Amino acid sequence: MTLARRALPRWFGVGALACAATLSTTAGATPSRWAMARSQATFDAEMTRQAAEEELLAHRAQRRSSFEDPILRVDSHAPRAAEIIEKAGPKVLDDWYVRMLLARAYHEGERWLEASKVFESVLTDGRTPDVFRADALAELAIDYARLNRQDDEIEAYELALALEPHTSSRATMLANQAEAFMVKGDTSRAIAGYRASLEALTSYDAPVLAPTTYWSLGVALDRSGDLEDALDSISRARSYDPHDVRIGADTWFFVPAYDENYYEALGEWLVARRSPDTEVRLGAYERAEIAWKQYLGRAPDDDHYAPVARARLRLLEKEFAEFAKRARTPTPIDPRRPASNALKSLPTPKRRP
């Protein structure tokens, strides 16, 4: 989820289609065979639902596979799901669940504005059950984040949290809402939100959700002036995910996009300070310096966190210079220390008469 704006990365699709095979039944929306036989509109709506669900399920399956193997390409299942529903006509679109599927198809197809409008229509439909409202609100919040509408995003998460009972979904919502506070420059509420998210995690959820939350907490702590605790938080994130796979996945995005440089700078700084290898530390210091400069070069003048980034760059440059000087200076021999056994074994040179 990242903030500022978006410095914090987000997860896509909270709870979306987790049990899609039973969604219509759960909603009490699956018509009987007799109802479909009596009404062409009912039949058309059910066929549209089934076809769109199949495409969205295929899309989700591909996304999971691409996370495990980034070389795999995600096919056009989401656009096909949207096309199926769009062609169905207005009578079919009167069904709140069909509109929910359409909104998800737009969302997965990165059509954020269209997705937000359809999700809003689902939420204003009195026939939509609460369990689907929670999902719709959570996904709508991500669309708002993409549209840079932080106030609407925060409110959507607040409403979703009032409806969502599952701890993993609540933890994700709390972390994402904290991202929105970060983007607005409210680091205190962002830190509180990240910590609430981490407290809500079970041991089962933590390996998946804790890495990105600890990362974002680290950034928020640094932006509040606490560099040491910030690096400790990133270190905890890497205890779960040593290679930063989660935060580099396509389920995570930065708002604003240049915030990725802030995350990179802190991550490299952690290596520069704590790696046991001198050459690794020198390389990490160099990369951290580049990342800070990239952040400042891309950030606008009114960026909330540019002053902090400038201060961090000055501190890092000082550290880098001092460490590089020590690394290039040979360790002097202490004449008070006894010679090594190797030196003692050397023959004493003879003087010429």
* Per-residue pLDDT at 56: 87
Is residue 265 domain-resident?
A: yes
User: Which residues are CB-contacts of 39 (< 8 A; sequence separation ≥ 6)?
Assistant: none
Q: Is the pLDDT of residue 14 over 90?
A: no
Q: How confident is the model at residue 40 (pLDDT cuts 50, 70, 90)?
A: low
Measured CA to CA, the distance from residue 268 to residue 260 in angstroms comes to 12
Q: Which two tokens stand for residue 334?
A: 């202490």
* Per-residue pLDDT at 8: 31
Is residue 36 domain-resident?
A: no
Distances (CA, A) of 245 to 67, 83, 108, 198, 212: 9, 33, 21, 19, 10
Measured CA to CA, the distance from residue 26 to residue 164 in angstroms comes to 16
User: Which residues are CB-contacts of 352 (< 8 A; sequence separation ≥ 6)?
Assistant: none
Q: What percent of the chain has pLDDT over 70?
A: 78
* Per-residue pLDDT at 62: 74
Number of domains making up the chain: 1
Is residue 304 domain-resident?
A: yes
Q: What is the pLDDT of residues 296-342, one digit of tens each?
A: 999 999 999 999 999 999 999 999 999 999 998 876 666 566 655 54
Residues 206-231 have a mean pLDDT of 97
Measured CA to CA, the distance from residue 251 to residue 149 in angstroms comes to 19
Looking at the chain, which runs of residues are DSSP E strands? Answer: none
Residues 279-304 have a mean pLDDT of 97
Q: How confident is the model at residue 155 (pLDDT cuts 50, 70, 90)?
A: very high
Q: What is the pLDDT of residues 107-147, one digit of tens each?
A: 999 999 999 999 999 999 999 999 899 999 999 999 999 99
Is residue 237 domain-resident?
A: no
Inter-axis angle of helices 206-223 and 227-240, nearest 10:
170
Phi, psi of 203, rounded to the nearest 5 degrees: -65, -25
Q: Is the pLDDT of residue 230 over 70?
A: yes
Is residue 179 domain-resident?
A: no
Nearest to 144 by CA among 20, 259, 5: 5
Measured CA to CA, the distance from residue 335 to residue 12 in angstroms comes to 64
Is residue 295 domain-resident?
A: yes
Query: What average pLDDT is seen over the chain?
Result: 84
* Per-residue pLDDT at 311: 98
Is residue 6 domain-resident?
A: no
Is residue 307 domain-resident?
A: yes
Other Cβ atoms closer than 10 A to 196: 15
**What domain range includes position 297?**
258-328
Termini Cα distance of the chain: 80
* Per-residue pLDDT at 330: 72
Measured CA to CA, the distance from residue 69 to residue 50 in angstroms comes to 28
- Do 207 and 239 form a contact (C-beta atoms < 8 A)? no
- Do 178 and 220 form a contact (C-beta atoms < 8 A)? yes
Q: Is the pLDDT of residue 5 over 80?
A: no
pTM score, two decimals?
0.79
